[in-house]
């Protein structure tokens, strides 16, 4: 089965062609980071316009790189949501046009589900699965009893972890996107500063806004009192605190659900080198569970994961018609 996937939920226009969930025939990602970094974050209206400019070219490139024609596609998969509504509409409209013009089935895909299914590119997931989705817009622990069931066990009560990385990086003057920059800087620092520990009510829920404010207050206090501080140490202290929040919840979840056979990670923050190290440490404590962190190329937004999710959804019978529309707050499915 060959599926063409289209992703445009945020600031990457991406098109990929994937065969049988495993073989990436082509994957085109047109990133808008250079434009948005001037503004210190993604500007939705600007992002939608750039998607309009890029989408046809990305489709052409994906077909050319894979050396295939539209007639060879079994279906078109597209991110229906969640994401920035104007951005989503561009991908959905392009997918509807292709499906209509070439008489192909149209399969709507959930962006977070796709981040989880990205793991299928490298491994066969064994259910029940516990998935950690950590991105610029989401922080969630999802329990999947089987391939098509999703139960959100925990989620952030305020900021997503990637958002906290980006905001802290802005406070430190590191630029956008902040995640990779803090990741790099933290490797040169030590966890020496005491920051506010996040507080949440739910057993598996997360919170990052208090931690983010704590970094901001720390910097302001230092400036007010004319004291110097070590940026790398602050980056490291923030990162350890944020990851403590994540890992303490994962452990409670794994302990409470002894049936879990596979732990997977998805989303842009899974590219974080310290998070990867800590997963290696966690692995030692749960020898009966398989742990998978997908390779970097499928962690951040891409369309290979949309094609994989589209294949799974297609096999389960999901189809959409010409009335398909984007849904910025679509529930995971
Ligand atoms: O999944 P993604 O590409 O887009 C969505 O939010 O859907 O994730 C982007 C987020 C940004 O917040 C970025 O700062 C963060 O992932 N990120 C990282 C790293 N690489 C990307 N955060 C921490 N460490 C990284 N190495």
**With the CA atoms of 194, 195, 201 and 206 taken in that order, what torsion angle do they form, in degrees rounded to the nearest 10?**
-120
pLDDT computed for residue 293 by the predictor: 93
In the predicted model, what is the mean pLDDT of residues 254-268?
97
In the predicted model, what is the mean pLDDT of residues 120-149?
96
Ligand 1: which residue has its CA nearest to atom 23? Answer: 179
Query: Rounded CA gap, 237 and 228, in Å?
Result: 16
Closest to 121 in 3D by CA, of 301, 316, 310, 305? 305
Confidence band, pLDDT 50/70/90 cuts, at residue 39:
confident
pLDDT at 107 > cutoff 90? yes
Which is more confidently placed, 233 or 38?
233
Question: Given the CA of residue 165, which atom of ligand 1 is nearest to it?
Answer: 14
Q: Name the residue of 300, 305, 328 to mutate for ligand 1: max ligand atoms within 8 A of Cβ.
A: 300
pLDDT computed for residue 41 by the predictor: 81
Which is more confidently placed, 42 or 292?
292
In the predicted model, what is the mean pLDDT of residues 3-18?
97
Query: Rounded CA gap, 4 and 95, in Å?
Result: 9
Query: Rounded CA gap, 309 and 108, in Å?
Result: 9
Angle at the Cα of 212 from the Cα atoms of 137 and 34, rounded to 5 degrees? 50
Write down how long the chain is: 333
In the predicted model, what is the mean pLDDT of residues 297-307?
93
Question: Given the CA of residue 274, which atom of ligand 1 is nearest to it?
Answer: 24
Instruction: Note the Cα 205 to chain centre separation in Å.
Output: 18
Specify the residue for token string 């749960």: 286
Question: Given the CA of residue 178, which atom of ligand 1 is nearest to it?
Answer: 14
**With the CA atoms of 182, 162, 4 and 314 taken in that order, what torsion angle do they form, in degrees rounded to the nearest 10?**
140
Q: Establish whether residue 177 lines the binding site of ligand 1, counting it when its CB lies within 6 angstroms of any ligand atom.
A: yes
Residue 83: other Cβ atoms inside 10 A: 27
Write out pLDDT tens, residues 151-194. Answer: 999 999 999 999 999 999 999 999 888 999 999 999 999 999 99
Q: Establish whether residue 186 lines the binding site of ligand 1, counting it when its CB lies within 6 angstroms of any ligand atom.
A: no
Confidence band, pLDDT 50/70/90 cuts, at residue 197:
confident
pTM: 0.94
Write out pLDDT tens, residues 210-237. Answer: 999 999 999 999 999 999 999 999 999 9
Q: Establish whether residue 183 lines the binding site of ligand 1, counting it when its CB lies within 6 angstroms of any ligand atom.
A: yes
Average pLDDT, the chain: 96
């Amino acid at each position: 089965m060959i599926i063409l996937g289209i992703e445009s939920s945020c600031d990457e226009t991406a098109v990929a062609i994937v065969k049988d969930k495993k073989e990436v025939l082509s994957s085109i990602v047109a990133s808008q980071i250079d434009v948005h970094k001037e503004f210190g974050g993604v500007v939705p209206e600007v992002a939608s316009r750039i998607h309009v400019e890029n989408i046809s070219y990305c489709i052409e490139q994906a077909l050319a790189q894979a050396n295939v024609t539209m007639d060879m596609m079994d279906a078109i998969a597209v991110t229906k949501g969640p994401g920035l509504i104007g951005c989503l509409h561009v991908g959905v409209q392009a997918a509807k046009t292709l499906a209509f013009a070439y008489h192909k089935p149209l399969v709507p895909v959930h962006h977070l589900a796709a981040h989880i299914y990205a793991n299928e590119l490298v491994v066969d997931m064994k259910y029940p699965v516990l998935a950690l989705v950590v991105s610029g817009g989401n922080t969630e622990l999802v329990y999947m009893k089987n391939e098509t069931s999703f139960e959100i066990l925990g989620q952030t009560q305020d900021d997503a972890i990637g958002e906290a990385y980006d905001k802290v990086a802005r406070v430190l003057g590191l630029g956008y996107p902040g995640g990779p920059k803090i990741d790099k800087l933290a490797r040169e620092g030590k966890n020496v500063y005491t920051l506010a520990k996040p507080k949440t009510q739910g057993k598996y829920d997360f919170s990052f806004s208090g931690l983010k404010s704590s970094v901001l207050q720390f910097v302001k206090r230092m400036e007010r009192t004319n004291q110097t501080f070590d940026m790398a140490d602050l980056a490291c202290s923030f990162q350890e605190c944020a990851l403590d929040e994540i890992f303490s919840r994962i452990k409670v979840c794994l302990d409470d659900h002894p049936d879990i056979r596979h732990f997977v990670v998805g989303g842009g923050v899974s590219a974080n080198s310290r998070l990867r190290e800590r997963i290696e440490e966690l692995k030692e404590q749960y020898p009966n569970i398989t742990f998978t962190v997908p390779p970097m190329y499928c962690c951040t937004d891409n369309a290979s994961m949309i094609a994989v999710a589209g294949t799974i959804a297609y096999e389960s019978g999901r189809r959409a018609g010409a009335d398909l529309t984007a849904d910025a707050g679509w529930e995971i499915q």
